[in-house]
Amino acid sequence: MCDVISRAMSRAGELPESSRRRFLQGMGATAVAGGMLMAGTGTARAHSGGGGRNHPVATRTRLILLGVGGGPAYTRSDVFGISTAVVYENRVYLVDAGLGSYRRLVQSGLAAQPTAPSSLTNVRGIFFTHLHSDHITDWPAMYVTGPSNRTGRPAGDRIAVRGPGRRDTLPRLFRPNLPEPELVNPDDPTPGIAGMTGYLRQAFASDFNDRARDGSGTAPDALFDVQDIDLSGIWEIDPEGRPPRLPRPIEVWQDGEVRITATLVDHHPTAPSFGFRFDTPDGSIVVSGDTTVSQNLIDLARNTDYLVHEVIDPVFVDEIVARTPPDLREGLREHLLESHTTIEQVGRDVAEPARVRHLVLNHLVPNDPSPLRWAAAQSGYSGTLTVGTDLLQLGVGR
């Protein structure tokens, strides 16, 4: 989710004292009302997939939610930023790297050796759905310190990093009559994951050179193989950022028995934005990324074992919009409701037509709502529903 909520909260300081107090009280009330969710069991309905919060499951293929918090506004210390792990045997595949996901890798038991710096030893690939801050905050940490946290990994065995490429057009302005905002990095205002990582390489050059010349480290290039997902012949992105219907999934990577494919989802005007599917000999897992209801995603998730899908509470949208400075309200409401999926939509309009066996809610906005609100996603959906919590583990197959 983009930074519009954080900007709205920061603008609260410009309001008169009485209005500012009502705004902040409303944000606090929302947090208090939702405090039960993460303290509870985390399930809206019983399921047979096994596991629980940090309870390992015995299946060969596993789904682990490292963090389920959506958006860049952090209001709880026990709900980390968005990140999902798919595990096959001892191979780990990550989708997104929100705040705290690097730490969650160790807490989830995915480090190769509990007493050695090995959080990235078994990581085979990292896949970014899009480049909003709440999905990539821990990527700089992984990139910079990765060579020091790969104990036991063979030399030359690189981690595949795939994500959005450079966008050749800027997103449209919400209102055409608004003044053009000042561009950040005007020579390259829309870098993809490869370009972003190149800037990280420059920013941390002092550290890399110090360690290399002292004989105690190697540059991250030897560990990470970073590539943009090629959309040549698939989509020339326009300022609106609404993707076309795809006739077939995009082939991303084949890692032995694990096949990773992607599709374009609708998180306009942010583009490209991807959903990813992981197929193993035991079954399939789809991770939506940020999106409104997307036919491309429904196609990708057809008959999958697990669909891990973002969700937003429209009641929260009403509450925060009502307490936002007037000039920000229209843009905030449009973004939250038109580029995300609501509680009422996710089961009925996505999981049910895709014939998904198990729907798992993540990227929860707000991070801490009432469990009863999320349970409403069951309406219109005949499969199993689970409300995600940090470190929840679910099994695929026997």
Percent of the chain with pLDDT strictly greater than 90: 71
In the prediction, which pLDDT does 146 show? 96
Q: Are 128 and 160 in contact (CB under 8 A)?
A: no
pLDDT in tens, 239-293: 999 999 999 999 999 999 999 999 999 999 999 999 999 999 999 999 999 999 9
Residue 373: which residues within 8 A CB-CB, separation 6 or more?
34, 313, 315, 343
What order do you get walking across the sheet with 283-287 strand by strand? 250-255, 258-264, 274-280, 283-287, 306-312, 358-365, 384-387
Spatial CA neighbour of 140 closest among 105, 97, 110: 97
pLDDT in tens, 307-340: 999 999 998 888 888 888 887 787 778 878 899 9
From residue 55, how far is each of 38, 52, 64, 91, 105 by CA, in Å?
A: 16, 5, 10, 18, 14
Output the 3-class SS for 251-301. EEEEECCEEEEEEECCECCECCCEEEEEEECCEEEEECCCCCCCHHHHHHC
Spatial CA neighbour of 164 closest among 185, 186, 139, 144: 139
Q: Are 118 and 151 in contact (CB under 8 A)?
A: yes
Residue 318: which residues within 8 A CB-CB, separation 6 or more?
none
Alpha helices in 81-127, H assignment, sequence order: 101-107
In the prediction, which pLDDT does 372 show? 78
Residue 294: pLDDT over 80: yes
How far apart are the C-alpha atoms of 252 and 162, rounded to whole Å? 8
Spatial CA neighbour of 361 closest among 305, 298, 287: 287
pLDDT confidence bin for 53, thresholds 50/70/90: low
Beta bridge partners of 163: 228
How far apart are the C-alpha atoms of 396 and 58, rounded to whole Å? 9
Angle 144-146-150 (CA atoms, 0-180°, nearest 5)?
165
- Write phi, then psi, for 29 (nearest 5 degrees): -65, -40
- Average model confidence (pLDDT) for the chain? 87
Parallel, antiparallel, or unpaired for β 283-287 and 274-280? antiparallel
Domains of the chain: 55-171+186-395 (3.60.15.10)
Q: pTM for the complete prediction? A: 0.87
pLDDT in tens, 343-375: 999 999 999 999 999 999 999 999 864 677 799
In the prediction, which pLDDT does 328 show? 78
In the prediction, which pLDDT does 336 show? 84
In the prediction, which pLDDT does 370 show? 60
Residue 222: which residues within 8 A CB-CB, separation 6 or more?
147, 155, 156, 158
In the prediction, which pLDDT does 228 show? 98
Residue 125: which residues within 8 A CB-CB, separation 6 or more?
93, 94, 159, 160, 161, 162, 253, 255, 260
pLDDT confidence bin for 2, thresholds 50/70/90: very low
